[in-house]
Amino acid sequence: MMENKMEKRKLGKSGLEVSALGLGCMGMSFSYGPPADKNEMIALLRKAVERGVTFFDTAEVYGPFINEELVGRALAPFRHEVVIATKFGFGTSGISALDSRPEHIKQVAEASLRRLKTEVIDLFYQHRVDPNIPVEEVAGTVRELIKEGKVKHFGLSEAGVQVIRRAHAVQPVAALQSEYSLWWREPEAEILPVLEELGIGFVPYSPLGKGFLTGKMDENTTFGKTDFRNTVPRLSAGNRKANQVFVDLLATIAQRKHATPAQIALAWLLAQKPWIVPIPGTTKLSRLEENIGATAVELTKDDLLEIETASSKLKVQGDRYSEGSAKLINR
């Protein structure tokens, strides 16, 4: 039934094999404005499977809950062909409070299994590090869930180097999910070397800079009232104008490669390490097709050097999150 076999990648030494590009499902229900039409999203998720995507990313907090239900319903017919990742770590009041107490993690696992209509969660991430709960307890709890057959692999999100090492010593971490793109390269300094050393895969979210690196936005773009990008300093009108230089760089290379800026941004990430699997999100079939097309773009050493040289001279204007959101990210 697969129209297009995409290359597969292994997330570190965990043995977890997924399509080179995953699909971030958050925006279908949450964060970028009102939820999209359910039936259209189910069709989109199934089209992704048809095109060879086998890695789908959701979380209980997206919606909350409705995104997991959507993903579960859409992927039920293909459950054995796909890998579903979801996340725990926020309290019942949503993203204002962290809660990684062991009993809460177990409750979330049961609820997520129900919503996802599945017997096992392929990859269970701690959504944000909880400073009140030692990560060893978190890792130990997920280890128990793995022993019980409810979870297959353990992941962390936006965790710093020490937390990664401590968690991995208790239960091997299959993947770290954090923001990484041509205009947020902080993970390169300390995170990527540690992942390489420990054999942990890396799943970049916002690989297209929340849409900016696609070249479809400029200083005149306006976001809907409920679109969280209104609060992102880096995406303020003035900063968008200043940051256009990144898009121009991608566009120059895209033209030469008969590709789009978005495809170059994704191909650049794929070229960094063989164990990196970006998860761009979209609600549009045309964008899904475009993103998948990135896996066929070959960037040569010269192309990569050119991107490196040019981008090293560019300075991103504006923070990646507003101060309130930034507090939830622990290094």
Q: Where are the domains of the chain?
A: 8-208+268-297
Q: Two tokens at 323?
A: 């101060």
What global pTM score does this model have?
0.95
Helix (H, G, I), strand (E, B) or coil at 166: helix
- Predicted local distance difference test score (pLDDT) of residue 77: 98
Overall size of the chain counted in residues? 331
- Predicted local distance difference test score (pLDDT) of residue 189: 96
Helix (H, G, I), strand (E, B) or coil at 133: coil
- Predicted local distance difference test score (pLDDT) of residue 327: 55
- How far CA 106 is from CA of 54, 114, 129, 142, 152, in Å, comes to 26, 13, 17, 8, 14
- Predicted local distance difference test score (pLDDT) of residue 329: 55
Q: What is the fold, at CATH topology level, of the domain defined by 8-208+268-297?
A: TIM Barrel (3.20.20)
Amino acid at 232: V
240 neighbors 255 (Cβ within 8 angstroms): no
Task: Determine which one of 32, 62, 125, 180 is catalytic.
Answer: 62
- Predicted local distance difference test score (pLDDT) of residue 328: 54
DSSP per position, 171-240: S-EEEEEEE-BTTB-GGGTTHHHHHHHHTBEEEEESTTGGGGGGT---TT----TTBGGGG-GGGSHHHH
Q: Two tokens at 73?
A: 């319903």
What is the rounded distance in angstroms from the CA atom of residue 100 to the CA atom of residue 134? 9
Average pLDDT per consecutive 10 residues, the chain (331 residues; last block may be shorter): 75 97 96 92 98 98 96 98 98 85 98 98 98 97 98 98 98 98 94 98 96 92 93 92 91 97 98 98 97 97 95 88 60 35
Helix (H, G, I), strand (E, B) or coil at 169: helix
**321 a catalytic residue:** no
- Predicted local distance difference test score (pLDDT) of residue 330: 43
- Predicted local distance difference test score (pLDDT) of residue 331: 35
First to last CA, the chain: 43
DSSP code of 297? P
